[in-house]
A and B are shown apart, each in its own frame.
Chain A
Amino acid sequence: MDPLLNPFDYFTLPFGDWSESALDWIVDIGRAPLLAAKAPVQVFLNLIQGGLIAVPPLVGLIFIAAVGFFLSGWRLALIGLVCLCFIGLIGAWEAAMITLSIVLTSVVLCILVGLPLGILAARSDRFFRILRPVLDFMQTMPSFVYLVPVVMLFGIGDAPGVIVTCLFAITPLIRLTNLGIREVREDMVEAAYAFGASETRVLFGTQLPLARPTILAGLNQTVLLSLTMAVVASMISVGGLGRMVLEGIGRLDFGSATVGGLGIVMAAILVDRYTQALGAARSGRGSGGA
């Protein structure tokens, strides 16, 4: 009777073995091109990370306040200052800079890949039909699951961290770029054609500017997801605030874990407010219409 009631004690598929050999196989043939793809990411990341860490905190504070003031006004500047000061005061400055550099690199990558994909999806129903289930699938997967294949293919460290962050965070940008372009009022596009605009001109002169608020909302989500993933990626030995938390928990060092956690909260508030202001700035004209 027992084999019938508890079949899984007697029979399991060796799925772990299969996937391992499948991955081995992919790694065998894909290693060289994958490493080649990793190299520019690494270079770019080093550049940004080196820059952010080299900047003296005072300069960083002045810079963030200036950007905040320029984007929206003194309130945003104040929020930026408070967040960064707090991060500095609790001693998480360097870790925060490492995390921010990973977020920044991954967001740039997301824009480079996601924006064109979103535009393509908006222009071709067929492409969108293929892309949509992929995006749905990517969005259903918990952040954790991304780590396994990325480690197998790219190894551990900051550059694979950027890649996994990018994979995890790119979907909203693609989705909302597509949506934003499709939502642009039909007659405004038609009017542009009617006055002799070319396809490229309609895209860059009419559709993208009018879709801007939606695209920037997507960018905001992408930035926040990047931060989430940059923290989770500490499990594949990515440095920064996430590692502070992880190591703190591992060593039962409650203080260090709290500092890391608070740093993450502050960083999240900071990037959220700043990217939202990016959407609101100068877009007073973007959404109006008749």
Chain B
Amino acid sequence: MANEHPVNCCNLWKIFGARAEQALEAAKSGEVDKDEAFKRFGCVIGVADASFSVAEGEVFCIMGLSGSGKSTIIRHVNRLIEPTAGLIHVEGRDVMGLNPKELRELRARKIGMVFQHMALWPHKTISENVAFGLEVQKTPKETRRAAADDALERVSLGGWGDRYPDELSGGMQQRVGLARALAADPDILLMDEPFSALDPLIRKDLQDEFLKLSREMKKTTLFITHDLDEAMKMGNRIAIMKDGRIVQTGTPENIVLRPATEYVSRFVSSISTLKYISAVEIMTQGGTAPGAREFGPSTPLPALLKAFSEGAEELTIKDGDRCLGRIGSAEILETVKSDLARV
């Protein structure tokens, strides 16, 4: 495959039900949609023709409402679910081509997974939970213990190794979940709504902490959420799903500023564009302001505002030597006004 991204998913279909093959044919040719497929074939379309790839070190968010197929997609990456059609490549290898032993190795060494409801095993200590992936790979006990302590240290739970999961609060349990995913030092993280079950404040803490970890460790991450704000915060790129289909993939700015469909624009309508909008989108073309400070076309609004608050009256937008336009307080006010009107 030309594309050597760590996770690569091509025209993935997953249809649940006995007559999946027939439903697949009909759905591919566009004859039936999700409801129709259920009525005609008794099949549920979980994922429909999804393609995406996650670059190395990238956090790729999949966002969609309940039942849109997010969990189904992510479970294909470590083959907890097998596709009805389509290809999944992880680090250049087709996961459907792996034999059971290779698959177990891939799961234990290359991929770490975090679950919405933590899914810690109550009969094992925190340490045993965290080191489980190493244990199944028959890593010696001392190495395991060290790796577990290390991973717990990372999520600031050092010293809790000998406790049991039910002695910890929800937030701490999910830190353990994260530590378990990190313990074998995998290259890829799969996170299925990891913070959804937590209180807002704790959720924010964990988001920040994960962002920090993620910047340090540079793991390729597939992050699932049903919360657009979370997706915007965590993701380098976001894919938006509806009824099993990916309707738009793009950077947070792209999604907010240029929604591809009616559905996406309804979704992002509650998000303020002010954080993402850049100079070139609000300037008045032509007409330089002599002596004003100069900024590049992709300067974000907050940076422009800072210049104004430092006393500037007008700004010039320049791409290299070429003068593009200018921004005065009128443009700024207009932008804020239209953003407020959107919501």
Taken together as a complex, chains A and B put the C-alpha atoms of A206 and B136 apart, in Å, by 12
Contact bitstring B98-127, A, C-beta under 8 A = 1, else 0: 001000111111011101111111110000
Asked if A193 is an interface residue, CB under 8 A from chain B, the answer is: yes
Asked if B137 is an interface residue, CB under 8 A from chain A, the answer is: yes
Question: Contact at A286–B120, with CB atoms within 8 Å?
Answer: no
Stretch at the interface among A105-113, A195-203, A229-237: A195-203
Asked if A191 is an interface residue, CB under 8 A from chain B, the answer is: yes
Contact-size category for A: 20 to 34
> Hey, which chain A residues are within 8 Å of B136, CB to CB?
195-198, 201
Stretch at the interface among A32-40, A51-59, A156-164, A182-190: A182-190
> Hey, which chain B residues are within 8 Å of A209, CB to CB?
121, 123
A194-B80, A195-B136 given as contacts; is B122 within 8 A of A210 (CB)? Answer: yes
A187-B117, A188-B119, A201-B136 given as contacts; is B107 within 8 A of A194 (CB)? Answer: yes
Shortest CB distance B258–A (Å)? 36
Asked if B316 is an interface residue, CB under 8 A from chain A, the answer is: no
Stretch at the interface among B4-12, B165-173, B265-273, B331-339: B165-173
Question: Contact at A290–B121, with CB atoms within 8 Å?
Answer: no
Shortest CB distance A199–B (Å)? 9
Question: Contact at B133–A196, with CB atoms within 8 Å?
Answer: yes
Asked if B237 is an interface residue, CB under 8 A from chain A, the answer is: no
Shortest CB distance A26–B (Å)? 41
Residue of A nearest to B173 (CB): A290
Asked if B14 is an interface residue, CB under 8 A from chain A, the answer is: no
Asked if A67 is an interface residue, CB under 8 A from chain B, the answer is: no
> Hey, which chain B residues are within 8 Å of A188, CB to CB?
119-121
Residue of B nearest to A212 (CB): B123
A187-B117, A195-B136 given as contacts; is B123 within 8 A of A286 (CB)? Answer: yes
Q: B112, B123, B133, B137 — which one has the most chain A CB atoms within 10 A of its CB?
A: B123
Between A and B, how many residue pairs show CB distances below 8 Å? 81
Taken together as a complex, chains A and B put the C-alpha atoms of A2 and B78 apart, in Å, by 78
Asked if A78 is an interface residue, CB under 8 A from chain B, the answer is: no
Asked if A285 is an interface residue, CB under 8 A from chain B, the answer is: yes
Asked if B180 is an interface residue, CB under 8 A from chain A, the answer is: yes
Asked if A7 is an interface residue, CB under 8 A from chain B, the answer is: no
Question: Contact at B123–A210, with CB atoms within 8 Å?
Answer: yes
Taken together as a complex, chains A and B put the C-alpha atoms of A201 and B136 apart, in Å, by 8
Residue of A nearest to B165 (CB): A290
- Which of A185, A195, A285, A290 is in CB contact (< 8 Å) with B108? A195
Question: Contact at B132–A195, with CB atoms within 8 Å?
Answer: yes
Asked if A152 is an interface residue, CB under 8 A from chain B, the answer is: no
Question: Contact at A187–B119, with CB atoms within 8 Å?
Answer: yes
Question: Contact at B165–A196, with CB atoms within 8 Å?
Answer: no
Query: Which residues of chain A from 222 to 270 have any CB-CB distance to chain B below 8 Å in the complex?
Result: none
Asked if A289 is an interface residue, CB under 8 A from chain B, the answer is: yes
- Which of A193, A206, A285 is in CB contact (< 8 Å) with B166? A285
Q: B136, B173, B180 — which one has the most chain A CB atoms within 10 A of its CB?
A: B136
Q: A188, A192, A201, A290 — which one has the most chain B CB atoms within 10 A of its CB?
A: A290
> Hey, which chain B residues are within 8 Å of A196, CB to CB?
104-109, 133, 136-137
Taken together as a complex, chains A and B put the C-alpha atoms of A210 and B190 apart, in Å, by 25
Asked if A288 is an interface residue, CB under 8 A from chain B, the answer is: yes
Q: B113, B121, B137 — which one has the most chain A CB atoms within 10 A of its CB?
A: B121
Question: Contact at A191–B115, with CB atoms within 8 Å?
Answer: yes
Residue of A nearest to B125 (CB): A285
Question: Contact at A190–B80, with CB atoms within 8 Å?
Answer: yes
Taken together as a complex, chains A and B put the C-alpha atoms of A198 and B111 apart, in Å, by 16
Query: Which residues of chain B from 255 to 305 have any CB-CB distance to chain A below 8 Å in the complex?
Result: none
> Hey, which chain B residues are within 8 Å of A190, CB to CB?
80, 115, 119
Shortest CB distance A135–B (Å)? 27
Taken together as a complex, chains A and B put the C-alpha atoms of A198 and B116 apart, in Å, by 23
Residue of B nearest to A283 (CB): B123
Question: Contact at B123–A290, with CB atoms within 8 Å?
Answer: no
Residue of B nearest to A287 (CB): B122
Shortest CB distance A219–B (Å)? 18
> Hey, which chain B residues are within 8 Å of A192, CB to CB?
121, 132
Asked if B164 is an interface residue, CB under 8 A from chain A, the answer is: yes
A185-B119, A187-B117 given as contacts; is B137 within 8 A of A193 (CB)? Answer: no
> Hey, which chain A residues are within 8 Å of B111, CB to CB?
194
Taken together as a complex, chains A and B put the C-alpha atoms of A188 and B170 apart, in Å, by 16
Taken together as a complex, chains A and B put the C-alpha atoms of A48 and B110 apart, in Å, by 52
Shortest CB distance B68–A (Å)? 19
> Hey, which chain B residues are within 8 Å of A195, CB to CB?
107-108, 112-113, 132-133, 136, 180, 184
Taken together as a complex, chains A and B put the C-alpha atoms of A236 and B259 apart, in Å, by 82
- Which of B119, B122, B132, B190 is in CB contact (< 8 Å) with A285? B122
Query: Can you list 22 A-B contacts (CB < 8 A)?
Result: A187-B116, A187-B117, A188-B120, A190-B115, A191-B113, A191-B121, A194-B78, A195-B113, A195-B180, A196-B106, A196-B137, A197-B132, A197-B136, A198-B100, A198-B104, A206-B121, A285-B123, A288-B122, A288-B165, A289-B120, A289-B122, A290-B119
The 3 closest A-B pairs by CB, nearest first: A196-B108, A288-B166, A195-B133
Other contacts beyond A187-B115, A193-B107, A290-B170: 13, CB < 8 A: A190-B119, A194-B190, A195-B107, A195-B133, A195-B136, A196-B105, A196-B108, A196-B137, A201-B136, A285-B122, A287-B122, A288-B166, A289-B120
